[in-house]
Amino acid sequence: MLRVAIDIGGTFTDVVAETPEGMRSVKVLTSADAPERAALDGVARLLAQLDKTHADISDIVHGTTLATNALIERRGAKTAFITTHGFRDVLAMRTEKRFDQYALNITLPAPLVPRPLRLGLRERVLADGAVLIAPDEREIETLAALLRAEQVEAIAIGFLHAYKNSTHENMVAARLRQLLGNDITICQSAEVAGEIREYDRFSTVCANAYVRPLMSRYIGHLQDKLREAGFSGALLMMLSDGALTTVEQAARFPVRLIEGGPAGGVALAAHVAREVGSDRTLSLDIGGTTAKICFIEKGTPKTSRRFEVARAWRDVKGSGLPVKIPTVELVEIGAGGGSIAAVDRLGRLQVGPQSAGSEPGPAAYGRGGTQATITDAHITIGTIAAEGFAGGMIALDPALASKAVARDIQTPLQLEDPASAAAGIIELADETMANAARVHGIELGLDVAGFDLLVSGGGGAVHATRIAEKLGIRRVIVPQDAGVGSAVGFLRSPVAFETVVSVVEPLSEVDATALVDRLRRVMAEVTTVVETVVPAQNITHRLTAELRYKGQGYELSLPLDAASADAIAGLAARFEEEYEQQIGFTLKDIAIELISLSVTAREKRLRTAARPLEVQPCQAKAQPHIRAIFERSAANPLPFKVIPRESLNGQAMSGPAIISEAQTTTVVRPGWHARRGDQGHLVLERNR
């Protein structure tokens, strides 16, 4: 049994193979013009190392940020939006809320669909689902002629109250397919995001239509190339909520893949947190382009049903395009290894969010990049060695790194030497990531200092101890294979699929019998999706109800024990208990509304091929060598012991030290000590 995971990032593409003997991995530079090329190259290299062929692979799991990048860079299909007459400007008006009430020149991302292609159709469904005005056949034909003349590639359909009654969306979609042919992409809001709040629903269906042609072509091309090479297993895609799905569903709902790549790092962090007994864990995944933060409690990541992409103002909530999808609660910061450092017009040092990516990459790569990056800063001070970088894939040139740092930072700021400038770059990057964690913790009502810091990605272990110091965290965990952590996380993720049943009725008026029948039909539908990969006996279901007091704008989520009338009847008492616990009081004589029920079919037991790693005592203790590394607190180089990770066993190693491995580097700062646990994970703790 050979399982393969592919994680395509902005700088590196990581490919991991899981065999009964353990993990093997390779890193290759991402081919931005054709992402599948680097993925296929990485798989071929890994199979050559293992002396295997594509026919030996049982399944491939894949995560990518291609959909995210298409939305941010506006590289999607030419899309039209058909909505209820008089409501085409909902996409531009949004919710009319200002994310910064004091900013005079506030900027919002432009709608994905320009106004001339936002078209109104005379139809109307009322809030209770009753039909007021049915679509006119001749008007649909007129719209089809206009869409044909505009040569649109995709159509998003979103009518008022379609979450309650989708008949009109179904009718218009079917007729447009007859008139325009099956080659055009048509997405319906009731299928993509069948929930209340028209702006969020309209934004989500437009985003899905916008990226679907691109993602369908990409997934189809990747699958065809793998089949040509001899692969006959299942190709699975990573969803934003940390689960896997089939390529058919991924191509149908590509908007659900937006955070698929970063979700892998969270999946790994949750798995390792359970292994090492960390009940409160802050996951930090630092790659070549961005850093991702997620809070995990008792092995379960924080999740959400709403996400923003393409924020117009850096890290400011409310300034992006909302998408209603199940997702892990992530914060992304432009502070990866390739993030560019510069001095602005006011003479201030800044790092990111722009990245050198894989083309041309940091200056030290010698691929044409000239701007100083975080990676160049680490090479300049010595934390990253020139030899063996990315498993020996890239030969680094320290002279180019030092030259870029001196020109871009040292000279403008009139610092003594390139090392001082490089230390400043790293310190600012660390503070940026630490501050993002602080702010996110405050938003969630969490005390960050009470968490363990679990890091992954190529840059996670390099920055970990300094970020932990800034946050008051005393324990850092560096998982086995952390450098390719997202790809490993894909292999620790279950196959699952979720959909939503919209209700929007007072709980006292809900027809429980009819609702249970709806739930069971939907459970059968999501089970069918998962059954294409997972045996029926290995599938479980999860039901979640969203409720609120009538007139409120946001809901509380409660797990539903079963699809039964008794379980629905018990929701009122459970809601009031949860509301009082979270808010501190309950509201009397106010009706409780059942807004929606989410239904998930999920794989119970994961298909893990590798045996748990058992760390054996070393036959001969490796003798560390010494590397001089510039230490900011000492204002000069300090001797750091350097030892390979595989040479460590259960004994503690005190800093200052460097623990080296093929895909990452762990920096053990002065005042810290590290040990390698039974599962192979490194645990770093601050001295008391």
Predicted confidence (pLDDT) per residue in 72-125, tens digit: 888 899 999 999 999 999 999 998 888 888 888 888 889 999 999 999 999 999
Specify the amino acid at residue 110: A
Domain annotation covers residue 513: yes
Residue range 615-643: average pLDDT? 73
Task: Tell me if 125 is assigned to some domain.
Answer: yes
In 3D, which of 174, 171, 161 has the Cα closest to residue 87?
161
For residue 389, what pLDDT band results from cuts at 50, 70 and 90? confident
Is pLDDT above 70 for 621?
A: no
Cα–Cα dist 215/239, whole Å: 13
Domain check: are 63 and 81 in the same one?
Answer: no
Statement: residue 141 has pLDDT above 90: yes
Mean pLDDT (whole number) for 399-414 = 94
30 and 142, same domain (yes or no): no
* Distance separating alpha carbons of residues 355 and 336, to the nearest angstrom: 8
Q: What integer is the mean pLDDT of 376-390?
A: 86
pLDDT at 585: 92
| DSSP designation for 112 | S
pLDDT band (50, 70, 90) for residue 65: confident
Q: Is residue 608 part of a domain?
A: no
Domain boundary among 211, 226, 242: 211
What does the pLDDT look like over 263-285, one tens digit per residue? Answer: 999 999 999 999 999 999 999 99
Strand 291-297 versus strand 300-301 pairing type: antiparallel
Range 130-149 average pLDDT? 96
Q: At what angle do helices 418-444 and 398-405 cross, to 10 degrees?
A: 80
Taken in order 97, 101, 104, 110, is the CA torsion positive or negative? negative
Whether the pLDDT of residue 238 is over 80: the answer is: yes
Q: Does 548 share its domain with 591?
A: yes
- Asked if residue 96 and residue 26 are part of one domain, the reply reads no
Is 438 a domain residue? no
pLDDT bucket at 613, cuts 50 / 70 / 90: very low
| 158 in the same domain as 105 | yes
Residues 192 and 239 in one domain: no
Share of the chain above pLDDT 90, in %: 63
Longest dimension (CA), the chain: 83
Q: How far apart are CA 61 and CA 491, in angstroms?
A: 7
Six token digits for residue 350: 């800044």
Q: How far apart are CA 613 and CA 21, in angstroms?
A: 9
Q: Are residues 117 and 6 in the same domain?
A: no
Q: Which of 194-208, 221-235, 304-318, 437-451 has the lowest mean pLDDT?
A: 304-318
**The whole model's pTM is what?**
0.86
pLDDT exceeds 80 at position 611: no
Q: What is the pLDDT of residue 33?
A: 80
Token digits for 590? 């106010």
DSSP letter for 562, please: S
Q: Residue 125's domain spans which residues?
A: 76-211
Q: Cβ(505)–Cβ(25) under 8 Å?
A: no
The answer, yes or no, to whether residue 137 has pLDDT greater than 70, is yes
Planar angle of CA 453, 457, 463, nearest 5 degrees: 55
User: Residue 674 domain-assigned?
Assistant: yes
pLDDT-derived band at 510, boundaries 50, 70, 90: very high
Q: What is the CA radius of gyration of the chain?
A: 26
Check whether residue 153 and residue 81 sit in a common domain: yes
pLDDT at 314: 63
Same domain, 92 and 190: yes
Does residue 594 form part of some domain? yes
CA-closest candidate to residue 208, choices 185, 177, 241, 235: 185
Distance CA 34, CA 581 (A): 51
Number of domains in the chain: 4
The pLDDT mean for the chain works out to 89
Give CA–CA dist 453/467, Å, rounded.
9
35 assigned to some structural domain: yes
Is the sign of the CA dihedral 45, 47, 53, 56 positive or negative?
Answer: negative
Q: Are strands 2-8 and 57-64 parallel, antiparallel or unpaired?
A: parallel
pLDDT in tens, 533-590: 899 999 999 999 999 999 898 899 999 989 999 999 999 999 999 999 888 899 988 9
Give CA–CA dist 154/213, Å, rounded.
Answer: 7
Q: Are strands 339-343 and 665-668 parallel, antiparallel or unpaired?
A: unpaired
- Predicted pLDDT of residue 243: 92
Amino acid 222: pLDDT: 93
153 and 249 within one domain: no
Structure tokens at 475: 């324990």
Q: Note whether 594 and 523 are same-domain residues.
A: yes
Residue 178 burial (CB count, 10 A): 11
pLDDT of res. 134: 96
Relative orientation angle of helices 418-444 and 460-471, to the nearest 10 degrees = 60
The two structure tokens encoding residue 280: 């409160």
Confidence band (pLDDT; 50, 70, 90) for 608?
low
* 344 Cα distance to chain centroid: 30
Report the CATH number at residue 557: 3.30.1490
The CA distance from 50 to 55, in Å, is 13
The first and second tokens of residue 649, run together, are 């066993």
586 shares a domain with 500: yes
371 neighbors 384 (Cβ within 8 angstroms): no
pLDDT digits (tens, 9 = 90+) for 164-177: 999 999 999 999 99
Mean pLDDT across the stretch 393-406? 89
Residue 309 has a pLDDT of 82
- pLDDT for the residue 618: 46
Identity at 131, one-letter amino acid code: V
Q: What b/e string do you get for 647-676 counting C-beta neighbours within 10 Å, with b at 16 or more?
A: bbeeeebebbbbbbbbbbbbbbbeebbbeb
pLDDT at 249 over 60: yes
79: tokens are 């899309």
Query: Does 269 reside within a domain?
Result: no
Q: For the domain that residue 233 is a member of, what is the CATH number?
A: 3.30.420.40
Q: How far apart are CA 421 and CA 416, in angstroms?
A: 8
* pLDDT band for position 646 (cuts 50, 70, 90): confident
The proportion of the chain whose per-residue pLDDT surpasses 70, expressed as a percent, equals 97
